Structure 1
């Protein structure tokens, strides 16, 4: 999709605040600082529309980005960030679970993992959780420009061993080089047909 119009419509914490337009939604989940904002910016052809931060735990709401008056990207708070209180993590967890299990407009989840490292326990739990609730998901390994191209297959193999994902649902991605952008868009377009 060639994106010209984007609007951060609302930052929501409860279903009463979700958009009422009925557009299909694609959620982006992953650890804090895994690259959700960077992926969003690449997909919408913007430099800094979705704010990136060096400080983990900045996203604390469900941020609905309206794309081309036909679709929402929903940036979900990052998981696995230790400096947030247990009560705050539980509140986020409930907000995220409510959205991911009860939103009929949700057509799929892009689960981002750091392609440079082994999956964390939180990554594995999220993958299992999405599988349990039968939520369509695309796994996107980020920051792949930091790994030599000859080692990408090794990283992909490591991901396959850690979680159950087929080749069509795994994309090696770099915000810097834009590698994987077209594959991610192809998956999104298939989900929202």
Structure 2
């Protein structure tokens, strides 16, 4: 069983040379700047402030690597789509992420979207990158606690249609706040990393 209590921050990579190349599984988390990526990682690990939660969207400008139980990495990609970032910075992120996707040997991916909103064009680009790798990936529809139960099905359907997800890609309703969806996501991670 993967011991989630044994989690440590390893490094922030600004370029591909900084990324670990030790063959351990890399579980990647991607999402827009304000979608609650760090909160999702914190909830999965049941740690309060493990992955920094930025008060300001767009804080994660590097690829952050967290070692889990010395058996796998959680990889926190820079958030995308934050308007107040310079063009040059956006381009730098884009190139870094593109290079990472081409080269990193990703084991599986999680794309985090906000269940309350229709995914954006940038979300769609990220989905296409994941699909292009051929690795298993799942969409986490975060902020479930912010919508009514009656809205859930329609929201999930809209996410699936907008991102044009193939049937095998699951959309997991998730609440970083309350923990809904945590077990389902962990199960997917364990099938890749092994018990």
Instruction: Please classify the TM superposition score into its range, dividing by the shorter chain length.
Output: over 0.9
The residue aligned with 1:84 is 85
The residue aligned with 2:152 is 152
Query: What is the RMSD of the two structures over their aligned residues, measured on CA atoms?
Result: 1.5
What does residue range 40-119 of structure 1 map to in structure 2 within 5 Å?
Answer: 40-104=41-105, 106-119=106-119
* 1:105-127 residue CA offsets vs partner (Å, 9 max, x unmatched): x1011000011111111111211
Q: Which runs of 4+ in 1 moved over 6 A?
A: none
Return the offset for 1:148: 1.3
The residue aligned with 1:12 is 13
Determine the C-alpha separation between the residues in 2 that align with 1:188 and 1:154: 27
Determine the C-alpha separation between the residues in 2 that align with 1:168 and 1:21: 28
Return the offset for 1:91: 0.8
Relative distance call for 1:168 and 1:136 in structure 2 (3 A) is: closer
- Unaligned stretches of 5+ residues in structure 2: none
Determine the C-alpha separation between the residues in 1 that align with 2:3 and 2:21: 24
The residue aligned with 2:139 is 139
Any conservation in 2 of the 1:7–1:67 contact (CA below 8 Å)? yes
The residue aligned with 1:187 is 188
Any conservation in 1 of the 2:38–2:51 contact (CA below 8 Å)? yes
Return the offset for 1:167: 6.6
Return the offset for 1:192: 2.8
TM-score in terms of structure 1 length: 0.93
Determine the C-alpha separation between the residues in 2 that align with 1:14 and 1:67: 22
Determine the C-alpha separation between the residues in 1 that align with 2:96 and 2:114: 24
What does residue range 33-44 of structure 1 map to in structure 2 within 5 Å?
Answer: 33-44=34-45
User: What SS does the aligned partner of 1:63 have?
Assistant: strand
Equivalent residues, number? 192
Return the offset for 1:128: 2.0
Bigger shift: residues 111-120 or 147-156: 147-156
Determine the C-alpha separation between the residues in 2 that align with 1:27 and 1:132: 14
Return the offset for 1:10: 0.5
Bigger shift: residues 125-134 or 89-98: 125-134
